Structure 1
């Protein structure tokens, strides 16, 4: 299991995120984290977050480090914040805070490295994450910049969505202008294939990091919550098929 940390202070609720707005919490390691609770994000969402964080780090994406956080019920009960009960229900997903970060804006897209854009685009299609939309009128991009202008990739609780169509993905993804790079580009495929394969090769260790409360229905027992780990693995193994690359 990963290092588990315990919440010491609930600081505030973030305005980031549409489906789940995390809380900023200081932990017993004296670091601050953006935290999504089991009661609100549900087990499926927290599994998606953890899998994406681990696989994305393997794939060279700048995803903040994460930990499993235990939040004492008395800390929740004594808080007067709105929505604080979202943090109850069991262990939470905690993503290390990027200090003084700002949302990526449409005007800043050209300043990002092209390889990083392509990598994020491919990764999101791999994990079926449709929550990275941005246009000139805004969107929910789930990408932030640190004070140096370096990118951080966050928020994957709606990934592994079997209902996500490529038409929808192609229409809304922030880096959709890079889709043409992959079409018929066998050299790119030969470059990325081993990297995806290596990331998936760590599947056993990655899934061992997940608390049972996130995987199973009844307090860590019983049937698996869908998508199950096996269903998620089948989604990820699409990269071995021609259709996966042909759509890109």
Structure 2
């Protein structure tokens, strides 16, 4: 397991206040710890895996060990990351990212926008919004590759997720509902979702024991939520 070797600074964005750190592979990562809750850390890891399997550009990610001595003389970090000797979620820094804004919305590639909308619906993620002037998109443009980077899934798998209320707030909503949808989308996306879900069991077995012990029934909830794409009701909401 990678280990945090240097705390650099708190990120200027993000409700869970991630910290930029250097890990033992000499790469920079944003880490989240207790401030995201154990469920949130599991969500981050599972959704990062699923997103990459689905074809989205999600940064490389790993669980990482945060030793207590890293926090001994850093009160600001300790208030957010706890007392250490814990396993955090680490998402590799992508340099040169531009935060998504309303001015970029109209230039989104249509297929990517539809993929993102469907993915967030699948994982029950309400935390990717955009209004006329602002929002919380959790989406960045990588200026070097001109591709979009998808981040921040700690609030996924919400049992109170309300599609009817949330969908119009999603930054990709206009792209999904800009034309009449039909069952062809089910035929297109179901195999992609099936492939991503089939790999989850093996990936989940690699999650930190500390996380799984703290939330022993949570993976079953996640799996049941994800399996809903095999039902008619899942797709009827999208037409």
Q: Same fold (TM over 0.5)?
A: yes
Contact kept? 1:183, 1:245, Cα under 8 Å: no
* Alpha-carbon distance in 1 for matches of 2:77, 2:165: 31
Q: How many equivalent residue pairs?
A: 235
Aligned to 2:3: 6
Which ranges in structure 2 are unaligned for 5 or more consecutive residues?
none
Mapping for residues 67-216 of structure 1, pairs under 5 Å = 67-80=62-75, 82-88=76-82, 90-148=86-144, 149-180=146-177, 184-216=181-213
* Alpha-carbon distance in 1 for matches of 2:62, 2:147: 22
* Alpha-carbon distance in 2 for matches of 1:241, 1:41: 31
Contact kept? 1:182, 1:245, Cα under 8 Å: no
Q: Deviations over 1:39-96 (max 9, x none)?
A: 211110000000100011010000001011111100111224x243422351000000
Contact kept? 2:113, 2:176, Cα under 8 Å: no
Aligned to 1:42: 37
- Give the 3-state SS of the residue equivalent to 1:77 in structure 2: coil
Contact kept? 1:25, 1:35, Cα under 8 Å: yes
* Alpha-carbon distance in 2 for matches of 1:182, 1:199: 27
Contact kept? 1:182, 1:189, Cα under 8 Å: no
Q: Per-residue deviation at 1:206?
A: 1.5
Q: Per-residue deviation at 1:184?
A: 4.2
Q: Per-residue deviation at 1:216?
A: 2.3
Q: 2:232 aligned with 1:242, yes or no?
A: yes
- Give the 3-state SS of the residue equivalent to 2:121 in structure 1: helix
Which ranges in structure 1 are unaligned for 5 or more consecutive residues?
218-222
* Alpha-carbon distance in 2 for matches of 1:51, 1:181: 30
Contact kept? 1:13, 1:24, Cα under 8 Å: yes
- Give the 3-state SS of the residue equivalent to 1:151 in structure 2: strand
Q: TM-score w.r.t. structure 2 length?
A: 0.93
- Report the CA distance shift for 1:12/1:229 in structure 2 as closer, same or farther (over 3 A): same
Aligned to 1:220: none
* Alpha-carbon distance in 2 for matches of 1:91, 1:183: 46
Q: TM-score w.r.t. structure 1 length?
A: 0.90
* Alpha-carbon distance in 1 for matches of 2:111, 2:188: 12
* Alpha-carbon distance in 1 for matches of 2:31, 2:230: 34
Runs of 4+ in 1 over 6 A off after TM superposition: none
Contact kept? 1:52, 1:127, Cα under 8 Å: yes
